[in-house]
Structure 1
């Protein structure tokens, strides 16, 4: 069992306990049930109970069938077949300018911020690297995803935590390289593609459908990457190139591969294959 309660903000439990305790203390004093000293003791007892309950109110357990996440004593079950990976988002606190990492289960595609329940939040360094000696439970969480061969968003961060704790590293992603005859040229890949404006309109509708039909998500990412590539080839400006490379990277991440060289070569090969399948199965 992986215990993740240390990643939950403690104020979420102790703070609630304090508020409840304060309300009870005021009620006891106002109704004349007891004096101020006894009311203070009641407040302290409620806060202590909330603090003691913290490890039992938030934890994660992994077994052969899936993950069980308990939050506020309420268990939720997630089967391995429904888990796509571990979402990891770096951020900065506005109040103290500290850096943190938020972890979530990823239950659907395409990759996004809120596709699964939040597992917790930990502090990181200003360089967005693990702070101090990583908690054993965090390393065990990453080890679960290593064992199940599920991707994590920040493999370098996870591998550093695993290395410090002496646990096996994440397996390297499969490498895609252009075939011996070379990747398709843009002219070959996009010869039968619809017009850019027509494709842009179709993607707006497809983006709405993706929210309801997860199986369409890969097609959505592929067509977005191909469209961004075509816009750059038409316009040739730096911003369009950055967008095209970013969309190509998203597709490669979704497919769980590393691309040798320009990732747009992978987009073009996959798009040409997609058009061929669509022609055979209209």
Structure 2
């Protein structure tokens, strides 16, 4: 899946090549060659909505791009990575979809699936392609995490498909969740982070909301660890609960362990 603006270069190239080839060979008259070239460009731009094929079976998925298949067993997949950003060339919001792989690990280590346009509020634009809805449905059926679950559920609703099932129960890794000392080792000072934290982001799909919730929960946890009073603990637990609710998971035990793991992962990924 690609935004049409990203296929414009391909369409223009095909138009030029086709037009020149027909004109040079003299297969048809120049005006006819021009019309055929324009039709080829229009087909590349509008008539081919998908730039990949994704086949699913009991063993895994096969991604076919540019006629080259790549197969991924279910055990190799860790979910669907989704990131909202802006195409600076045309000033339009878009959603980038990638497979999340177990090896190499990382949120954006997997292959690109495609990009679809979204609204300024990062909600579905018009009627989303059915292939996008079916992609979300497949991951939901397999119990694989879809990062932007609210967006996925809205796409599924519009297309008349079942909503995503509740996500997995999170439990600390076998080696234990990272302790506060490790999780916040390279974090900015508490006062510095409090000053740097942006104003509260209230809209569910507003860009940067999860990062805000994560940083706020980590900050509240650190304040409690420093002050140790009951009010600070209540604030830290509430902030952790809001992050867990946003991520649509269930946490066994103290939700602040989840905050610490996620904060450490976020700090590690930052450039």
TM-score normalised by structure 1 residue count: 0.59
| Larger helix proportion of the pair | 1
> Deviation of residue 222 (structure 1)?
5.3
Confirm or deny that 1:73 pairs with 2:67: yes
Contact 2:178 2:257 survives alignment (8 Å): no
Distance 1:226 1:161, change over 3 A: farther
Q: Give the structure with higher Rg (CA).
A: 1
Helix, strand or coil at the partner of 2:48: helix
Distance 1:73 1:231, change over 3 A: closer
- Comparing 20-29 with 87-96, greater Cα deviation is found at 20-29
CA RMSD of aligned residues (A): 4.6
TM-score normalised by structure 2 residue count: 0.61
Contact 1:57 1:73 survives alignment (8 Å): no
Structure 2 unaligned runs (5+)?
198-213, 222-239, 262-271
User: When the two structures are aligned, how many residues end up with a matched partner?
Assistant: 220
Distance 1:22 1:219, change over 3 A: farther
Distance 1:73 1:127, change over 3 A: same
Contact 1:146 1:170 survives alignment (8 Å): yes
Helix, strand or coil at the partner of 1:84: strand
Contact 2:128 2:155 survives alignment (8 Å): yes
Confirm or deny that 1:264 pairs with 2:256: yes
Contact 1:13 1:54 survives alignment (8 Å): no
Name 2:191's counterpart in structure 1.
237
CA deviation string 1:121-149 (max 9, x = no partner): 11112111122333322221111011100
Name 1:123's counterpart in structure 2.
117
* Aligned equivalent of 1:60, options 47, 51, 54: 54
Confirm or deny that 1:147 pairs with 2:141: yes
Name 2:167's counterpart in structure 1.
173
